[in-house]
Copies of this chain bind each other. A is one copy, B any other.
Amino acid sequence: MDAGQLAHPGVEELEVGPILLALADENRRRVVAELAARPDDERLCASFDLPLSKSSRTRHWRVLREAGLVYQRSAGNGLYMRLRKEDLDARFPGLIQAVVAAD
């Protein structure tokens, strides 16, 4: 697989169970909240200030991506992430806002 083309579930494949499981973790929830604050922006994964090892961070990015919460893209100088806000709002209206507001 091309490093720039990570696998992502389609919008019709999104399921609320994996989404909630992904959001149950406070570090992942924090990442989603920061992305939701600027939903049009893509962000360098390395720019998130999390108290975690590199392998833990990598695992969290994968959980977020496989649940369908974020799009990830590998570019020359790193891995970028953005919230799948349109897809999430279409499939689960109000959910991301409610979760982000809950903390």
Contacts and interface: CB of A to CB of B under 8 A. Distances in A.
B99 A20 contact: yes
B21 A17 contact: no
Q: How many subunits of this chain does the assembly comprise?
A: 2
Contact of A93 (B91, B95, B98, B103): B98
Interface of A: 16-21, 23-26, 29, 91-95, 97-99, 101-103
Given A16-B29, A94-B97, 18 more contacts: A16-B102, A16-B103, A17-B24, A17-B25, A20-B21, A21-B21, A21-B24, A24-B24, A91-B102, A92-B101, A92-B102, A94-B98, A95-B95, A95-B98, A95-B99, A95-B102, A97-B98, A98-B98
